Amino acid sequence: MGRILLIGPFVISILYMNETPDSSWPRYCALIIFFIMALSDALDGWLARRNQTVTSLGKFLDPLADKLLITCACLLLATPATAVPHAILPKMVVVLILGKDLYTVLGFTIIYLVTSKIKIVPVFVGKITTALQLAMVLAILISPDAAPLWPDFLFFLRCLWWTTSAMAIFTMIVYTRNGTRYLNEFEQQQRQKLDASVISSD
């Protein structure tokens, strides 16, 4: 819940990034907030697993906070008025990243409508994709400071956001396979129950 509430200050910091004579302090504010959110993301998951306090609500809110943060960051960092100069996120990258999230939500909805069950099973490739997305946003925000120190940083940044896009596509493929497999297993279980009820009635 705290990470979701921090999205507001994060967005405000980015909105003011290009509206002040010195754009450094809003960007640094966004960096600090982003770092706190990323650190708390790793910390609360580790604590939940260590203390065996994993809950259904936590499984829902954790990816929700990540998706809201990434959605807001991608849209703002791809808009010239609010983007970091010389590191504007390509629109195709935004489409692929946000498309993956919309596709995931659509698949989740279909599974719920068919099975009447909430199925949230994180996969390793999805965690890697989320980590790459967070790293991409972080790299964009630090690019004005990193580029003068590392001449190839902008090339690295471009490689990072296209790698993130490729992982988003791969994640959609994995989710499609897992979702289809789960629906097939559910249908088989329903047929077995139906056959068992027919036999018992006979």
Q: Compute mean pLDDT per 10 residues along the chain, 202 residues long, and list them.
A: 88 84 81 87 74 73 84 92 89 93 87 77 83 92 91 92 94 90 84 69 58
Amino acid at 107: G
Q: What pLDDT was estimated at residue 137?
A: 92
**CATH code of 179's domain:** 1.20.120
Tally of domains in the chain: 1
- For the question of whether the overall pTM of this predicted structure is more than 0.75, the answer is yes
Give me the domain span that covers residue 87.
2-201
Rounded distance between C-alpha atoms, residue 80 and residue 163, angstroms: 22
| Closest to 141 in 3D by CA, of 43, 61, 38, 63 | 38
Rounded distance between C-alpha atoms, residue 41 and residue 133, angstroms: 14
Cβ neighbours of residue 201 closer than 8 Å, sequence gap 6 or more: none
Q: What pLDDT was estimated at residue 198?
A: 60
